[in-house]
Structure formats: C-alpha cells, structure tokens
Amino acid sequence: MENKQTALGHIGFSIFAWIVGLLIFFPIFWMVLTSFKTELEAVSIPPSFMSFDWTLENYAEVQARSDYFRFAMNSVILSVGSTLVGLLFAVPCAWAMAFNPTKRTKDALLWMLSTKMMPPVGVLVPIYLVFRDWGLLDTRFGLIMVLFLMNLPIMVWMLYTYFKEIPSDILEAARMDGATLPKEIIFVLLPMAVPGIASTMLLNIILAWNEAFWTLNLTTADAAPLTAFIASYSSPEGLFWAKLSAASTMAVAPILIIGWFSQKQLVRGLTFGAVK
Amino acid sequence: MGAIRLEKVKKTFGTLDVIPGVDLDINDGEFVVFVGPSGCGKSTLLRLIAGLEDVTDGKILINGTDVANEAPAKRGLSMVFQSYALYPHMTVYNNIAFGLKMAGESKAVIDEKVQNAAKILNLTDYLERRPGALSGGQRQRVAIGRAIVRNPAAFLFDEPLSNLDAALRVNMRLEITGLHQELKTTMIYVTHDQVEAMTMADKIVVLQAGRVEQVGKPMELYNNPANKFVAGFIGSPKMNFLGGDYARKYDCHEVGIRPEHVAVSTESGDLPATVKIAEHLGAETYLHVNADGFGPMTVRATGEVPLGEHDKIWLTPERDRIHRFDANGIALGKL
Ligand SMILES: Nc1ncnc2c1ncn2[C@@H]1O[C@H](COP(=O)(O)OP(=O)(O)O)[C@@H](O)[C@H]1O
Ligand SMILES: [Mg+2]
C-alpha cells in the first residue's frame, strides 16, 4: 500500500519536473526555431510550428551585418578574465574564512553577499563617472574589473563552502610536514579543491558571459561583448524577430554547449557544496 | 634526541580555560600516553606541543630550547592524526615524500628514505596507490610512514587507532609498540582508552579537565592511584566504591575495590549480594551484582563460574588490595 503510494508520488513528481523543465526550455527552443524562419513567418499568427520553409538567411545576414567573432572574442576575454582575476582574490579570502574563522566571519560573508542585493543601477552613475574620468569606458580592462568585483562575493561564498568541506587536519599535516603557507595552499589545498574551483569558475564564466547591464552601459564598440551584439538587433528601425533570434542563438550557443558538457560540475556548483 | 619539558603551559579559547597550567617532563626515548575522558584537553595539549595551537602562556622546551613561539615545522616533531589526514590527491609515495620535498632533500635521498619506510611498514606494493584505495590499517601505516621518514625528535599520536575495528586496533597497537622499540624515539600518544594506555606506555599522564591528575608507570597507577578519579579511570571493569559502614571499618570516607580483587563464595563472606547479570567470557566471568545495603558492584572471577541471575553469593575483598579515600577523593594509602 505504502510502496504503491510512494511509487505514484515518484511518477507525479517526475511529471511535474518534466513540465517545469519544458516550460523553462520552451523559450530557448522557440528562439532557435524562430531563427530559421523568415521575418514574415516569425510574426505570423497563428505561429507556424514546424511547417515553415527552413532558411539560413538570418544567420547569413547577421554574420554579414556585424562581426560576430569580434564580439564573441570580447565575451571570452571578459568572462574568463574576470573569473581568473576573481580567483586570485577569492582563494586567499575563502582560505582565511574557512580555516581561520573568527566570531565575525559569518557576518563578513553575509555582508559580502548582501552587496549583491543592491540593484546595480544604484551605483551606475558613480561607476560611470569613475570610468569616464579614468578613461576606462569601452576598455576590456575596465569591464573585467567591474565584472570581477560584481561576482567576487559569489566566488568567495562558493569557495568558502567548498573549503569548509576539506578537513583542516590535512592542512595541519602539511604544516607539520614543513610546508609554508603558499606551499600549503598550492600543493595541498588547491588540488583537493579542484572540483569546487572548477564549478566556481564555470558558474562565474556563465554569469559574466550573460551579464548585460554593465557590458551594455560601459561599452560602445571596442570592448563590446555578445550581449551588445544581441542588443544591436533590437534597434530603432524596429524589431526583426528572426534576425534577433539568430543573433541570440549565436550568442548563447557557446555557453550552452559548455554548460551541457559540464552539467555535473554545474549542478554541484549551484547547490553550493550542499551535496557531496 | 627528544626530551620535552612543559612549564606552566596554559591555553584558553576565548573565556574557556581548557588547560589551566601543566608542568610535565618527558624523557628522551620515552613512550608517554596522555589519557583521560573525552573533552579533557588531551588533543589540545598535544597540539600545543606540535605548534598547531599557540600557547596562552608558559614554555615548551624541546631538548632545552623554548619553542613555544616557533612554527610547527621548526620543532622537528611528526604527528599522526586520528583521521590519518593523508593527502588524498597524492600517491602513497608522494604522501610519504611530501615532508622530505618540503625540506628540500634530493630525489635520491627521498627515494631511499621512502622505500625504506615502505619496507618497514609493508607498503612497498602500494606506493603508487592513492589513499582512497587503501584499507584503514594501510592508511594508518602511510600516516606513520609519513611521520618516520622525517626522523623527528618525537612522534605525536592523536588517537590514531580509534577509527579502526577492534581486531585491527590490537594489531596496530603491537606494531606501534614494536616501532618504538626499534626506533627508540620519544613518542607522545593521546588516547581515551585506558587499555591502550596501560599496554603501550612507559609513562601515563592522566588528565581531567585540563589538569594532570597523576603521572606514573602503568602499574604504579594501577596499584597506587593518587585519587578516586585515577582509581576509577585506570582498570577495566571499573573499580567499585563503597562508603558508609564498610568504609568506616577501614577508617576512611570511601573504599575502592577492583573487581578482580574480590573473592566469590556461595557459602560465606563479608558482603552478601545477589547476581543480576553474569557475563561468561570463558577465561573469566564478570558478575554484575547487587550488594545488600551498598548497591551495584562488579566482580571479576577467573574461569567459568556456574552462577546466573538471582543467585545469592558472598563477596570478600582482598584486604591488602583495598584502596582508601578521604572525603575529597584523595587516596589515603593502603592498610
Ligand atoms: N579551537 C577551539 N575553540 C574552542 N574550544 C575548543 C577548541 N578546541 C578544543 N576546544 C575545547 O577544549 C576542550 C578540550 O578539547 P580537546 O583537547 O579536543 O579534548 P580531548 O582531545 O581530550 O577530547 C573541549 O571542551 C573543546 O570543546
Ligand atoms: Mg581529542
């Protein structure tokens, strides 16, 4: 009796999960589909589902009109760059918090995270002015700095939860073995934390890749990443759904592929070390 | 060479006074066991000696030099942790070699020392494995291997056997004792298990609430415990304590009688009692009895004893084995 009920419960839960999954996936699916339609079919009502003339002309036109690879290269540089700079600061910070905690460590962590609760637009004007005065507007360096600072709290928090899982005995053993602090971190802590560091990097690359507020507001051309590439298709001449879809598909494709191949790492990362 | 001397060593965590002040002398080559109930500060004291915790006050002298403010690596001590604390991402070989690499030894020297340690510890076939692919006993041996290659002034062990099953624990106990006989290096061994303390130690340090209750050879503690705490802690099953009239007969507040120092008779004796539970182990029998007017007592009889629940018996403590205590639990000396 009870077994039957739990079995039914499992099926019900699976159906629910599938529905939620499909709902989340549908817009992406629709975007990809639309990118293969003509502009006319893209806005036709009722929308055609599969029975339309598949065309690649949107991709051809998008490629012809703007230089996809230049934007893509900027996206790679900004997301990877900001993540690497972030690690440089987040690793020592998380080490200190995880292995030498004080009474205020928890407060400091919460405070760091709370900075993420403020809407970025609240600091847009001061940051814009600083960027203008320091000549950082539309530079990759400036954007890397902003993106790294925006994501630093999440990096510290994630690495902290991972480091917490590492028994401090092992680091103490290294200390007894004569390792200095840098050696302890490089030869013992980091190799043990590789899965955690990988998921932290992955999540931050994705966050930085998709970041559209600062990248749109602080760039014009030279440092503009794929978010700006997409935005350029919702232009004053009116919306071109099919071309916009093609541009968006091209913009999310790399990160989608990376995400697909690193699902396991990502799930681990997103659960913040809750599952071992 | 490793003579260690603690002078008024104190440790507080915030407001918690974990070690109120310990003085202790450990001679070169001695096997010293810190024993006491869980939470009494054994690990803290060991970690203070290792340098993994900073002393709040006091001196730690190793071969005459105060190292209280030195980094762990500078003290020339090796430690074996309860959790083994092996480096999970390194092979057994590299686990053992790590300390030597940190010390900047040459490849040839490292290889010779690692191979030698592996031979002593029967690890030669496992050198290329990761710790995750080893059994508990093998991991323990790797941890010991890592400790011995550095040729330390003293070994520190923190409950190294408590993660092993009972049979393996007895084996490793003998191995560590054998290792001590071979190396003749000072060893400080922390345990809550008085059997380990009794069987391994040259010198036992009994701790309670961060205080040294008594220091002595195993048989000294067994025969002449300084107080009720030591008397109750050393020996298994635990010593029986009787107060009231019986103690007054011996001119003290309480008397202590070890279970093995009571004669059992079905006909006559000092104390009438009723058997509640009889545990038959073959070589000996533990009788958990209710002594009339005194409550529960434990008696250890040798061999097979045909007694069971509800049986009436008489107990007679051996007179010259009776321990006497005053109202503060301090031993008064034998009769
Ligand atoms: N880092 C620490 N911070 C605060 N209290 C601690 C710390 N380490 C140990 N203690 C406390 O000190 C006491 C002794 O601990 P410990 O030395 O580990 O005991 P044992 O090893 O004898 O079981 C315990 O009450 C423990 O809670
Ligand atoms: Mg302990």
Per-residue pLDDT of chain B (335 residues; tens, 9 = 90+): 789 999 999 999 988 999 999 999 999 999 999 999 999 999 999 999 999 999 999 999 999 999 999 999 889 999 999 999 999 999 999 999 999 999 999 999 999 999 999 998 999 999 999 999 998 889 999 999 999 998 999 999 999 998 888 888 998 899 999 999 999 999 999 999 999 999 999 999 999 999 999 999 999 999 999 999 999 999 989 999 998 888 888 889 999 999 999 999 999 988 999 999 999 999 999 999 999 988 899 999 999 999 889 999 999 999 999 999 999 999 997 77
Digit-coded pLDDT (tens) for A71-108: 888 899 999 999 999 999 999 999 999 998 988 998 99
Which pLDDT belongs to residue A268?
64
Cα separation, B262 vs B272, in Å, equals 12
User: Would you say residue A260 has pLDDT above 50?
Assistant: yes
Q: Are A87 and A204 in contact (CB under 8 A)?
A: no
Which pLDDT belongs to residue A274?
43
Cα separation, A131 vs A139, in Å, equals 9
pTM above 0.95, yes or no: no
Going by C-beta distance under 8 Å and a sequence separation of 6 or more, which residues neighbour residue A61? Answer: A243, A246
Cα separation, A241 vs A41, in Å, equals 10
Number of domains in chain A: 1
Q: Can you give the length of chain A in residues?
A: 276
Helix (H, G, I), strand (E, B) or coil at B182: helix
User: Which amino acid belongs to residue B135?
Assistant: S
Residue B301 structural domain: 237-325
User: Would you say residue A220 has pLDDT above 90?
Assistant: no
Q: Is B137 part of any domain?
A: yes
Digit-coded pLDDT (tens) for A27-82: 888 888 888 888 777 777 777 777 677 888 888 888 887 788 888 888 999 999 99
Cα separation, B254 vs B238, in Å, equals 15
Number of domains in chain B: 2
Cα separation, A122 vs A48, in Å, equals 42
Which pLDDT belongs to residue B181?
94
Secondary structure letter of residue B214 according to DSSP: E
Which pLDDT belongs to residue A261?
83
Q: Is B331 part of any domain?
A: no
Tell me which of B230, B252, B274 is where a domain ends: B230
List the structure tokens of A133: 């005065």
Q: A238 pLDDT band (50/70/90 cuts)? A: low
To the nearest whole number, what is the mean pLDDT of chain B?
Answer: 93
Q: Where are the alpha helices (DSSP H) in A36-167?
A: 39-42, 57-65, 68-99, 105-114, 124-133, 140-165
**CATH number for the domain including A153?**
1.10.3720.10
**Which of B274, B265, B244, B279 is closest to B316 using CA atoms?**
B265
Residue B269, sorted as left (phi over 0), alpha (psi -120 to 50) or beta, turns out to be left
Q: Is B113 part of any domain?
A: yes
Helical packing angle, A68-99 and A105-114, nearest 10°: 160
User: Which amino acid belongs to residue B3?
Assistant: A
Look-up of token digits 């760039």: A219
Q: What's the CA-to-centroid distance between A266 and ligand 1, angstroms? A: 37
Number of helices (H) and strands (E), helices first, in chain B? 9, 18
Q: Is B18 in the pocket of ligand 1 (CB under 6 A)?
A: yes
Mutation pick for ligand 1 pocket among B16, B156, B189 (CB with most ligand atoms within 8 Å): B16
User: Which amino acid belongs to residue A109?
Assistant: L
Look-up of token digits 């499909």: A22
* Same domain for B87 and B11: yes
Which pLDDT belongs to residue B273?
94
Helix (H, G, I), strand (E, B) or coil at B286: strand
**What φ, ψ does residue B22 adopt, rounded to 5°?**
-120, 130
Mutation pick for ligand 1 pocket among B9, B10, B13, B188 (CB with most ligand atoms within 8 Å): B13
Q: How confident is the model over A15-31, as a mean pLDDT?
A: 91
Q: Is B225 part of any domain?
A: yes
Out of A167, A178, A194, closest to residue B73 by CB: A178
- Kindly state whether B122 is in contact with chain A, defined as any CB-CB distance less than 8 angstroms: no
- By CB atoms closer than 10 A (0-12, 13-18, 19+), residue A223 is buried
Q: Is B210 in the pocket of ligand 1 (CB under 6 A)?
A: no
* Same domain for B141 and B172: yes
SS3 percent helix, strand, coil of chain A, rounded to 5, is 75, 0, 20
Residue A108 structural domain: 66-232
Which pLDDT belongs to residue A89?
94
If one counts every other C-beta atom within 10 angstroms of the C-beta of residue B47, the result is 20
Tell me which of B230, B257, B288 is where a domain ends: B230
Integer angstrom CA distances of residue A124 from A81, A118, A231, B229 = 22, 11, 19, 69
Dihedral angle sign, alpha carbons of residues A188, A193, A194, A198? negative
Q: Is B43 in the pocket of ligand 1 (CB under 6 A)?
A: yes
Which pLDDT belongs to residue A252?
87
Q: Is A12 part of any domain?
A: no
Tell me which of B212, B230, B248 is where a domain ends: B230
Which pLDDT belongs to residue A273?
44
Q: Is A32 part of any domain?
A: no
- Kindly state whether A99 is in contact with chain B, defined as any CB-CB distance less than 8 angstroms: no
Nearest chain A CA: its distance from B133 CA (Å)? 16
Which pLDDT belongs to residue A232?
80
**CATH number for the domain including B142?**
3.40.50.300
| Alpha carbons within 13 A on the beta-carbon side of B161 | 23
User: Would you say residue A218 has pLDDT above 80?
Assistant: yes
User: ipTM score here?
Assistant: 0.86
Q: A251 pLDDT band (50/70/90 cuts)? A: confident
B277 beta partners: B288
Torsion of CA A241, A245, A251, A254, to 10 degrees: 180
**Which of B46, B147, B38 is closest to B99 using CA atoms?**
B147
Q: Are B287 and B305 in contact (CB under 8 A)?
A: yes
Helical packing angle, B92-102 and B136-148, nearest 10°: 20
Q: What's the CA-to-centroid distance between A123 and ligand 2, angstroms? A: 50
Cα separation, A93 vs A111, in Å, equals 14
Q: Are A240 and A248 in contact (CB under 8 A)?
A: no
- Kindly state whether A175 is in contact with chain B, defined as any CB-CB distance less than 8 angstroms: yes
Q: Is B335 part of any domain?
A: no
Q: Can you give the length of chain B in residues?
A: 335
Q: Are B319 and B215 in contact (CB under 8 A)?
A: no
User: Would you say residue A237 has pLDDT above 70?
Assistant: no
Cα separation, B321 vs B178, in Å, equals 33
User: Would you say residue A276 has pLDDT above 50?
Assistant: no
Digit-coded pLDDT (tens) for A169-215: 999 999 999 999 899 999 999 998 888 888 899 889 988 988 888 88
Q: Is the peptide bond before A119 cis (omega within 30 degrees of 0)?
A: no
**CATH number for the domain including B290?**
2.40.50.140
* Same domain for B178 and B89: yes
